[in-house]
Chains A and B, each alone.
Chain A
Amino acid sequence: MSTAVLIFCTVSYHLILISVAGYSGWFNPDTVATLVASLISIAIVLFTTFYKRGGAAFKVREIAGLRAVEDAIGRATEMARPVLYTPGWGGDIQRPTTIASMNILSHIAEKTADYDCRLVYPTHDPVIMAVAQEVVKESYARVGFPDRYRAEDVAYVSSSQFGYAAAVDGLITRLQPASIFLLGTFEAESLILAETGNSINAIQIAGTDSTIQLSFFIVACDYTLIGEEVFAASGYLSGDKSILASVKAQDIMKVLIALFVVVAVIWSTIEAISNVPLSEWWVF
């Protein structure tokens, strides 16, 4: 991976050279602010990932919804009912939230395999289905129960939003899962699924990057992961140092953004008070 860091450094160096020299139309000067912000962010992520992960373990604060994961699967096992996991209609495989959701799925699949509890995973996207099948299959194999894996339980149901919602609702009503995980990108189907889950008294753990749907999940589900908690969840559950390192990187970037906002506020306040137009380098 040091090759990746090396490539990054070389590319950054040349990008800066090109942007400074403005080489014959190769560089679009309008994107300079975005370039600087991107390079700083990438440098922070690479630094924490490759240099900090070797040190002491990062501490991630307790997330109630994740503490409840094991209980939820245990409950389903005791009641001899399945666990239902669905990533929502709004995402596709290139969406980071879907990838974060896959990490959580991997952890949950290990548990369901271990407890011999059925895991049902309906999705709206054929690529997500193919990846999820591999993730679940590998998790089952990792804990030593490859025979418990059922390929037909990880299924593509419909690409249409409400076709998907109706299919998942139907599964919830017929299978009566004891625990439901709604983790991924959700749109208007969120409350339809969560309320149906609520009506059968399932324990529901939800998490999404769709801000508007968070309010629905908070009302209808037992636990809700808010935005970035979905990304932190995979590190929290697996203890994977590289994921935890990127959570640390996010915190560093958040502090920088907060400082930047404070400076920008002071800057524009001075501008407003003094009535003298200052440089707008920070506007992009």
Chain B
Amino acid sequence: MVGVLMGRRLPLAVCFVFGLVMFLQYFSEHPVAINLNQTILDYWQIVFAFTLIVGIFTYFKNNVTQISRGSDRPFRLVGLAGFVSMPLLALIWGIKADTPFMWMFENVQAPMQSTVFALLAFFVASASFRGFRARSLPAAVLLLSALLMLLSRSNIGGFFSEGLPEIANWIRDYPSMAARRAILIGIGLGSLTTSLRVIIGIERTWLGGDK
């Protein structure tokens, strides 16, 4: 029990102290505060590197377990092949330009990622076809704004009217921006209260679910 309690209390205390220190150092330009900030940031990067090990280990373990159970075998085998081959190439020949690792990166990984990214264009088309319906007056206004924006962001907008880009920019700079600012303020306040709850220890989900 004492161990469990310490297990919760210690991270909570560390979180509180570092939360407070990082908050305070923001307002200081004293060399001590600057050095402290720099040191904490260095450690932050080091800790992050260790967290990757957790990901690598569980990815490998999960896939091997699933393959042995026969679930999604082809996909998992391809995943594991990439998982093993890329670090091997990096270890043997390094990761600078013109190495096998970079060849794989440029000719396998990058095109595959671009392909998935490109799906977005197709999904925008299908979502627009299905979703943009003038069901009500606000929906019709939204639809009209979207069409204006689409026209203005292509170089054919100018053919219809010289003023089209100006109208689109106005929509972007005023009604759209006002709505986004309101949402951003709400998000900012939500972030602030959540962060404070974490720092003072009443929000403990990040410790694994103890409310």
**Partner among A28, A170, A242 whose Cβ is within 8 Å of the Cβ of B29:** A28
- Indicate whether A254 reaches chain B with its CB closer than 8 angstroms: yes
Interface contact A96-B194, CB-CB below 8 Å: yes
Q: Type the 1/0 row for A14-55, where 1 means its CB is closer than 8 Å to any CB of B.
A: 010001000011111001001100100110011001000000
- Indicate whether B85 reaches chain A with its CB closer than 8 angstroms: no
CA–CA, A41 to B196, complex, Å?
Answer: 10
**Partner among A41, A161, A192 whose Cβ is within 8 Å of the Cβ of B123:** A192
Interface contact B58-A129, CB-CB below 8 Å: yes
Interface contact A195-B55, CB-CB below 8 Å: no
Given A160-B113, A246-B197, answer yes or no on A31-B27 (Cβ-Cβ < 8 Å): yes
CB distance from B7 to the nearest CB of A (A): 12
- Indicate whether B33 reaches chain A with its CB closer than 8 angstroms: yes
Interface contact A99-B206, CB-CB below 8 Å: yes
**Partner among B33, B131, B193, B203 whose Cβ is within 8 Å of the Cβ of A219:** B131
CB distance from A234 to the nearest CB of B (A): 8
Given A45-B192, A127-B51, A246-B194, answer yes or no on A99-B201 (Cβ-Cβ < 8 Å): no
CA–CA, A171 to B203, complex, Å?
Answer: 31
CB distance from A227 to the nearest CB of B (A): 4
Interface contact B55-A102, CB-CB below 8 Å: no
Which residues of the other chain, A, contact B116 by a CB distance below 8 angstroms?
162-163, 165-166, 169, 192
Which residues of the other chain, B, contact A198 by a CB distance below 8 angstroms?
127, 130
Interface contact A135-B200, CB-CB below 8 Å: no
Which residues of the other chain, B, contact A257 by a CB distance below 8 angstroms?
185
- Indicate whether B94 reaches chain A with its CB closer than 8 angstroms: no
CA–CA, A11 to B197, complex, Å?
Answer: 17
Among B59-67, B152-160, B162-170, which stretch is in contact with chain A? B59-67
Interface contact B209-A106, CB-CB below 8 Å: yes
Nearest residue (CB) in A for B189 is A250
Which residues of the other chain, B, contact A194 by a CB distance below 8 angstroms?
127
Given A99-B194, A126-B54, A228-B190, answer yes or no on A137-B202 (Cβ-Cβ < 8 Å): no
Interface contact A211-B185, CB-CB below 8 Å: no
Nearest residue (CB) in A for B186 is A228
Which residues of the other chain, B, contact A139 by a CB distance below 8 angstroms?
209
Number of interface residues of B (CB under 8 A): 65
CA–CA, A198 to B117, complex, Å?
Answer: 18
CB distance from A94 to the nearest CB of B (A): 8
Among A61-69, A151-159, A262-270, A273-281, which stretch is in contact with chain B? A151-159
Interface contact B117-A162, CB-CB below 8 Å: yes
CB distance from B39 to the nearest CB of A (A): 18
Which residues of the other chain, A, contact B128 by a CB distance below 8 angstroms?
219
Residues in chain B within 8 A of chain A (CB atoms): 16, 20, 23-24, 26-30, 33, 51-56, 58-59, 62, 65-66, 72, 75, 109, 112-113, 116-117, 119-120, 123-124, 126-128, 130-132, 180, 183-187, 189-198, 200-203, 205-211
Residues in chain A within 8 A of chain B (CB atoms): 1, 4, 7-8, 11, 15, 19, 24-28, 31, 34-35, 38, 41-42, 45-46, 49, 93, 95-97, 99-100, 102-103, 106, 125-127, 129-131, 133-139, 152, 155-157, 159-163, 165-166, 169-170, 174, 188, 191-192, 194-195, 198, 209, 211, 214, 216, 218-220, 226-228, 230-232, 238, 240, 242-243, 246-247, 249-250, 253-254, 257
Since A4-B16, A95-B191, A227-B183 are in contact, a sample of 9 more A-B pairs with Cβ atoms closer than 8 Å, ordered by chain A residue number, is A7-B20, A11-B24, A28-B29, A97-B190, A152-B66, A166-B112, A188-B117, A219-B132, A220-B123
24 A-B pairs whose Cβ atoms sit less than 8 Å apart in the complex: A1-B201, A4-B16, A27-B27, A27-B28, A31-B26, A49-B197, A126-B55, A127-B51, A139-B209, A155-B58, A155-B59, A169-B116, A188-B117, A192-B120, A194-B127, A198-B130, A209-B190, A219-B131, A227-B184, A231-B191, A246-B196, A250-B186, A250-B189, A254-B186
